[in-house]
């Protein structure tokens, strides 16, 4: 790590510890964080790599619909209006506080997560075996978390902090809920990856092209020992992803497929907040070339 990268890390970490990161502009924050993560300067004037363009989009692509699309509860009405309610995971309830949740109304198995952030999920596979008198740490922390300040993804800035309950869903064959994540550019899917083995704590990512040919690329996750097979109705999944991605210069559309039953997952406008390494590095430029910034209204 270069001296400048170390200095960038010091400034970012110190500002977090002093709760002074709010003093940094979005551009300054992302410039410093990028220098720390990639040990090179972020090229704002002529962005070329995938991550550089994601950061450029954070500052310049400010469509008013984005906050609705990243809210895990509010997005469902939007999706239903485009592809129908049959592709939605049912909502069992939405609450402002843990104390407001009516657990007697929930089934024996369910999932709780926060509507305003990423990663705050609590899975209940047996309600009778869980102490529900107090909020679990993962949700308590998420309810206090303002995801915007951690990554400067502007759609999250003003979201209301809530908890949503959904049914616990797993594939009977694999025993898990496999993620299928489609990288769409101006409404066209160019690549995707499959996330498996989440429950082990060592999630695997396998990247594919649009036709489900395995790609010789990876990020900071290993490939699965056995590459995931092409799911049933895969072509329908691509169709759904591209339909929902219309009108956006870039979005990662996340879907699930349980033995042929397709469910909407979420809209992700900034894959890993613009800080994910692709290997070999050529894929950073390939994905970057797929993002066309010319038509973005500033």
Same domain, 177 and 259: yes
The backbone region for 119, taken as left when phi is positive above 0, alpha when psi lies in -120 to 50, beta otherwise, is: left
Same domain, 115 and 207: no
Same domain, 254 and 207: yes
The structural domain count of the chain equals 3
Q: Which domain holds residue 282?
A: 171-290
pLDDT, position 16: 66
In-domain check, residue 249: yes
Q: What is the CATH number of the domain that holds 197?
A: 3.30.470
DSSP per position, 238-252: HHHHHHHTTT-SEEE
Show pLDDT as tens, one digit a residue, over the chain (298 residues): 788 777 777 677 677 655 667 888 999 999 999 999 999 999 999 999 999 999 999 999 999 999 999 999 999 999 999 999 999 999 999 999 999 999 999 999 999 999 998 877 899 999 888 888 888 999 999 999 888 988 899 999 999 999 999 999 988 777 778 899 999 999 999 999 999 887 666 889 999 999 999 999 999 898 999 999 999 899 999 999 999 999 999 999 999 999 889 999 999 999 999 999 999 999 999 999 999 999 886 6
Cα separation, 113 vs 119, in Å, equals: 8
In-domain check, residue 54: no
Same domain, 176 and 247: yes
In-domain check, residue 245: yes
pLDDT, position 6: 79
By the 10 Å C-beta count (0-12 exposed, 13-18 middle, 19+ buried), 242 is classed as middle
Cα separation, 258 vs 266, in Å, equals: 16
Same domain, 149 and 243: no
DSSP per position, 118-158: SS-EEEES-GGGS--SS--HHHHHHHH--HHHHH--GGGTT
Q: End of a domain among 132, 167, 202?
A: 167
Same domain, 34 and 125: no
Same domain, 176 and 216: yes
* Beta carbons of 237 and 231 less than 8 angstroms apart: yes
Nearest to 24 by CA among 38, 13, 36: 13
Bridge-partner residues for 111, per DSSP? 123, 166
Same domain, 285 and 233: yes
User: Six-digit token pair at 227?
Assistant: 């590459």
In-domain check, residue 295: no
* Beta carbons of 275 and 37 less than 8 angstroms apart: yes
What residues have CB less than 8 Å from 286, skipping those under 6 apart?
50
């Amino acid at each position: 790590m270069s001296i400048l990268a170390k200095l960038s890390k010091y400034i970012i970490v110190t500002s977090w510890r002093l709760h002074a990161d709010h003093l940094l502009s979005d551009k300054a924050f992302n410039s410093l964080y990028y220098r720390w993560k990639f040990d090179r300067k972020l090229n704002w004037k002529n962005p070329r790599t995938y991550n550089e363009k994601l950061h450029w989009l954070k500052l310049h692509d400010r469509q008013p619909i984005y906050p609705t699309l990243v809210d895990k509860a509010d997005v469902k009405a939007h999706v239903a209006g485009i592809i129908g309610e049959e592709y939605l995971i049912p909502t069992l309830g939405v609450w402002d506080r843990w104390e407001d949740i009516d657990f007697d109304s929930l089934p024996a198995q369910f999932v709780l997560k926060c509507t305003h952030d990423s990663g705050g999920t609590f899975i209940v596979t047996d309600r009778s075996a869980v102490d529900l008198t107090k909020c679990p740490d993962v949700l308590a922390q998420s309810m206090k978390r303002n995801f915007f300040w951690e990554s400067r993804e502007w759609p999250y800035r003003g979201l209301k902090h809530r908890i949503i309950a959904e049914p616990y869903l797993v594939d009977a064959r694999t025993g898990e809920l496999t993620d299928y994540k489609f990288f769409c550019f101006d409404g066209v899917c160019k690549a995707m990856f499959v996330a498996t083995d989440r429950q082990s704590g060592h999630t695997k990512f396998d990247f594919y092209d649009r036709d489900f040919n395995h790609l010789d690329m990876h990020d900071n996750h290993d490939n699965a020992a056995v590459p995931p097979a092409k799911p049933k109705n895969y072509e329908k999944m691509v169709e759904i992803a591209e339909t929902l991605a219309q009108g956006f210069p870039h979005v990662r559309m996340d879907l699930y497929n349980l033995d042929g039953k397709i469910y909407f997952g979420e809209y992700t406008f900034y894959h890993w907040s613009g800080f994910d390494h692709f290997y070999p590095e050529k894929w950073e430029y390939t994905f970057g070339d797929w993002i066309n910034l010319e038509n973005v209204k500033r």
